[in-house]
A and B are shown apart, each in its own frame.
Chain A
Amino acid sequence: EVQLVESGGGLIQPGGSLRLSCAASEFTVRNNYMSWVRQAPGKGLQWVAFIYSGGATYYADSVKGRFTISRDFSMNTVFLQMNSLRADDTAVYFCAGPIEDSPPTFGALGYWGQGTLVTVSS
């Protein structure tokens, strides 16, 4: 059974940094694209970042230059480094990967973690 498990969330002051991790099992990070998606309290889903299997990365305008998505194949883990955090970055952060045999253009995120809460507040 595929599992994605996020960790690293918590309470952080504005301007601070956090690194989120998404550990995958029964799912090979090397062979798949991965996304980070967030959801502010009581709000809708917001796409945050994406990394292709080949390594290319893309970011939402609201996080570009502050967040970095990366991966470690030996750990089968995807990361989201978040710098210069702001109050409006407060959200539950989900990592998600594609359902089998679906191209990136479909955005068919069939596997999701349980989410990790990031709270940016002084």
Chain B
Amino acid sequence: SSELTQDPAVSVALGQTVRITCQGDSLRSYYASWFQQKPGQAPVLVFYGMNNRPSGIPDRFSGSNSGNTASLTVTGAQAEDEADYYCHSRASSGDHYVFGTGTKVTVL
């Protein structure tokens, strides 16, 4: 299967930690990249590869991988982290890419 499955929505109290997960067979072969998208804006890459965070992305964003699951953790969530988050990976077939179903993060 080339699908990546995410929980539709999660909430986190301000300053607390939230983990967003992404499951799919392709993650056994390929790393996930993670995107944050706010309403009306283009997605922003927040984490990729084994342990890479783009310049300008706060270090409260981190990622991990295990088996068929990739995770994005936000440690000490801020109000500005409220957004939709998508994982993205090459498909197992190698000739497609796929986005996860998306997770809406609400900061309470």
A interface residue numbers (CB < 8 A to B) = 35, 37, 44-47, 50, 58, 60-61, 94, 96, 99, 102, 104-110, 112-115
* Contact A45 to B90, CB < 8 A, known contacts A99-B48, A105-B31: no
* Contact A99 to B98, CB < 8 A, known contacts A45-B86, A112-B43: no
* Contact A45 to B31, CB < 8 A, known contacts A94-B42, A102-B48: no
Chain B residues lying within 8 Å of A110, measured Cβ to Cβ, are 45, 54
Chain B residues lying within 8 Å of A113, measured Cβ to Cβ, are 42
Summed over the interface, the residue pairs from A and B with CB atoms below 8 Å come to a total of: 72
Q: Are B96 and A47 in contact (CB under 8 A)?
A: yes
- B67 close to A (CB within 8 Å): no
Q: Mark B73-108, 1 if CB is under 8 A from A, else 0.
A: 000000000001010111000011111111000000
The distance from the CB of A71 to the nearest CB of chain B, in whole angstroms, is 18
Nearest-CB residue, chain B, relative to A103: B49
Q: Mark B36-55, 1 if CB is under 8 A from A, else 0.
A: 01000011110011001010
Chain A residues lying within 8 Å of B45, measured Cβ to Cβ, are 99, 108-110
Give bound CA distance, A35 to B33, whole Å: 14
Nearest-CB residue, chain A, relative to B49: A106
Instruction: Identify 16 residue pairs between A and B in the complex whose beta-carbon atoms are under 8 Å apart, listed by A's number.
Output: A37-B43, A44-B99, A45-B43, A45-B88, A45-B99, A45-B102, A47-B98, A47-B99, A94-B43, A96-B43, A102-B48, A102-B52, A107-B33, A107-B88, A107-B89, A109-B35
